[in-house]
Amino acid sequence: MASVSMPRFRLIELTEVDPFAEFAKDVAAGLTAELKHLSCRYFYDREGSRLFEAICELPEYYLTRAETEILKRHAHEIASLFTGDVTVIELGSGNAAKTRLLLDALLSSRGVRYVPIDICRPVLEESAADLLERFPTLEIVAVAAEYHEGLRHLLLRSRDREGASASETPLADARGSECPPRLILWLGSNIGNFTREEAAMFLRRIRGTITSADRMLVGVDLRKDRAILESAYDDAAGVTAAFNRNLLARINQELNGNFDLSAFQHRAIYNQELGRIEMYLVSTRVQSVTIERIGLTVKFAAGETIHTENSYKYSLAEINAVATAAGLQDQCCWQDAAGRFTLHLFASG
Ligand code: AVI
């Protein structure tokens, strides 16, 4: 675990697993499977994070605008649910653009410690610098890690509350034994990149770490018309296609692969039965690709696919079922005016 410290800012890098070995192992397993696949967690290198930010600005990708609309309208109402100081923990914070609205509302009448957890360290550093300049009283403890690693530290933190070694864990509160309530943010439909079962399990684990004073705010994309969904994931400017292909560029750079990016087409289809967008890279011809660092040659037939992402969409009943399975109580929810997206505030039932 590496740590960088400055006034009001601390960055912790959790490096318990070797990220290179993990990537190499997953790429080898995914590309030798009968139905080839790569995990969407590998989208977010520096370039992938930049492309994702560009996606959020696209006219077709309504999700970010819809969630921002909800936060603009209800940030003060959400902030008013907390009386004293608060620790805001964000899973997959990215550039934290929407979070600013909440931080602004919260900081108007209380002290806030912000704990963004994101896989991409440069993005964390940039967004923290911006937030520290914008909000002169904000304290930030940034954690460069995956959700699961970050969550493990939440679990440690929870144990601290019961009197264990508070000062030894990254999320420990420097202000002493008195811990302010936590608002855990899981925004941007990040829940959609988990299966419904995984989402319920993940939320259940979080529920096991929170107290009755803590809350969780989850952004969920709603089921809707196929045409709207498919164009949100296959935009006219081709940004999502570049984001998808960047996975192959990353394999080329980090594992010394020789993917010809122009020989793979982006495809996004809505699987209505499962309620999810499925993203693929489709080989446009018969080809074989060598990935030197893992000693692998992969053969592709023309039309053969690599499944790169699922993005689940929810009905209100499906959200309810996941919350119930996780043992969470749905305290409040807000939708954008067009009813495309919803924010749910959960408490530990
Ligand atoms: C990060 N995640 C919630 C995005 C989504 O909508 O599933 C990732 C994305 N994939 C293509 N466009 C955006």
> What are the φ/ψ torsions at residue 142 (nearest 5 degrees)?
-90, 140
DSSP letter (8 states) at residue 314:
B
Our CA angle for 288, 292, 295, nearest 5°, is: 85
What pLDDT sits at residue 149?
A: 78
What pLDDT sits at residue 168?
A: 39
Cα–ligand 1 centroid distance for 62 (angstroms):
11
At 291-337, the pLDDT tens digits run: 999 999 999 999 999 999 999 999 999 999 999 999 999 999 999 99
- Mutation test of ligand 1: which of 41, 50, 55 has the most ligand atoms closer than 8 Å to its C-beta? 55
- Mutation test of ligand 1: which of 233, 244, 247, 266 has the most ligand atoms closer than 8 Å to its C-beta? 233
Sign of the alpha-carbon torsion through 323, 327, 330, 336: negative
Is 158 a residue whose pLDDT tops 60? no
48 lines ligand 1 (CB under 6 A): no
At 63-121, the pLDDT tens digits run: 999 999 999 999 999 999 999 999 999 999 888 999 999 999 999 999 999 999 998 88
Lowest-confidence segment of 210-214, 225-229, 245-249 by average pLDDT? 210-214
192 lines ligand 1 (CB under 6 A): yes
**Residue 166 in tokens:** 């508070």
Q: Using 50, 70 and 90 to split pLDDT, how confident is the model at 19?
A: confident
210 contacts 203 by C-beta, under 8 angstroms = no
**Residue 238 in tokens:** 């081709």
| Mean pLDDT, the chain, whole residue set | 91
Lowest-confidence segment of 177-191, 193-207, 327-341 by average pLDDT? 177-191
What pLDDT sits at residue 330?
A: 95
**pTM, 2 dp:** 0.92
What is the distance between the terminal CA atoms of the chain, rounded to a whole angstrom?
34
- Which ligand 1 atom sits nearest the alpha carbon of residue 243? 11
At 140-153, the pLDDT tens digits run: 999 998 877 776 77
Sign of the alpha-carbon torsion through 114, 79, 194, 259: negative
**Residue 295 in tokens:** 């000693």
Q: Using 50, 70 and 90 to split pLDDT, how confident is the model at 154?
A: low
305 lines ligand 1 (CB under 6 A): no
Is 33 a residue whose pLDDT tops 60? yes
The helix or strand, by DSSP H or E, that contains position 84, with its residue range, turns out to be: none
